[in-house]
Chain A
Amino acid sequence: QLQLQESGSGLVKPSQTLSLTCAVSGASILSGGYSWNWIRQPPGQGLEWIGYIFHTGSTYYNPSLRSRVAISLDRSKNQFSLNLSSVTAADTAVYYCARAAERVAATSFDSWGQGTLVTVSS
């Protein structure tokens, strides 16, 4: 059974870089047909898609965050990571990693991590 688990610092100072890792078990991130995504949810608010990476290493980011975000693969550990630079309080959110699959004309997130709260504060 596929499982995703986020880890990383829960408290980041303003202007610093937020770094999170998503460990994947039950499937290889190198298998085709899926993208590996980061999504965030500020407290009490809706969902914002951050970006994805394919098994090939190709990436696509939300243009609103593109200048600050990087997603990478660690093939040896079957995990992928998020770096978000120059953070502000507006980046405080629960961060989820998720797998996406394209089926029946839609790309949907069919498996999610439990989420990790990251607070930006000095």
Chain B
Amino acid sequence: DIQMTQSPSSLSASVGDRVTITCRASQSIGRSLSWYQQKPGEAPHLLIYGASTVQSGVPSRFSGIGSGTEFTLTVSSLQAEDLGTYFCQQSYNTLYTFGQGTKLEIK
């Protein structure tokens, strides 16, 4: 299995802050990386695929970068509605695996 490790596990930030979440893969996965947001009590929602392509309808403040084993998700100016848990997911091999999640709280 390819292990995905996110950091930090949780963070607290203020509205307007720039927030970065990191996801590391246990082996190179090229750009086969997607990011999801999960709000409390809801299903996950696709934000970014192919490491950096923003899904249609997702606000432009969300961006992704990376390749190989290290990837980052950035929220350029945090909004109150961005609270939730963020997950990365690899699809380099068919045993799809997710990171453990980063819980984002608003101060």
Binding site for B on A (CB under 8 A): 46-49, 60, 62-63, 96, 98, 102-110, 112-115
In the complex, the answer to whether A49 meets B34 with C-beta atoms within 8 Å is no
B74 at the interface (CB under 8 A from A): no
In the complex, the answer to whether B100 meets A112 with C-beta atoms within 8 Å is no
Contacts of A103 in B (CB 8 A): 49-50, 53
Determine the main DSSP class of B at the interface with A. Answer: loop
Determine the main DSSP class of A at the interface with B. Answer: strand
The total of chain B residues at the interface (CB under 8 A) is: 27
Contacts A49-B96, A63-B95: A104 and B50 contacting too (C-beta < 8 A)?
A: yes
Give chain A nearest CB distance to B65 CB in angstroms: 14
Contacts of A48 in B (CB 8 A): 98
In the complex, the answer to whether B43 meets A113 with C-beta atoms within 8 Å is yes
Cross-chain pair count, CB within 8 angstroms: 66
B30 at the interface (CB under 8 A from A): yes
Give A96 to B43 CA distance when docked, in angstroms.
Answer: 8
B:88-107 near A, CB below 8 Å: 89, 91, 94-101
Give chain A nearest CB distance to B55 CB in angstroms: 7
Which of A104, A106, A112 makes the CB contact (< 8 A) with B43? A112
Give A21 to B15 CA distance when docked, in angstroms.
Answer: 40
Give A49 to B99 CA distance when docked, in angstroms.
Answer: 12
Give chain B nearest CB distance to A11 CB in angstroms: 20
Give chain B nearest CB distance to A59 CB in angstroms: 11
Contacts of A112 in B (CB 8 A): 43-45
Q: Return 10 A-B CB contacts under 8 Å, by A number.
A: A46-B101, A47-B87, A49-B95, A104-B31, A105-B32, A105-B50, A106-B33, A108-B34, A108-B49, A109-B34
Give chain A nearest CB distance to B94 CB in angstroms: 6
Contacts A47-B87, A96-B43, A112-B44: A106 and B98 contacting too (C-beta < 8 A)?
A: no
In the complex, the answer to whether A106 meets B99 with C-beta atoms within 8 Å is no
In the complex formed, the residue of B with least CB distance to A115 is B43
In the complex, the answer to whether B46 meets A110 with C-beta atoms within 8 Å is yes
In the complex, the answer to whether B53 meets A104 with C-beta atoms within 8 Å is yes
Give A48 to B98 CA distance when docked, in angstroms.
Answer: 7
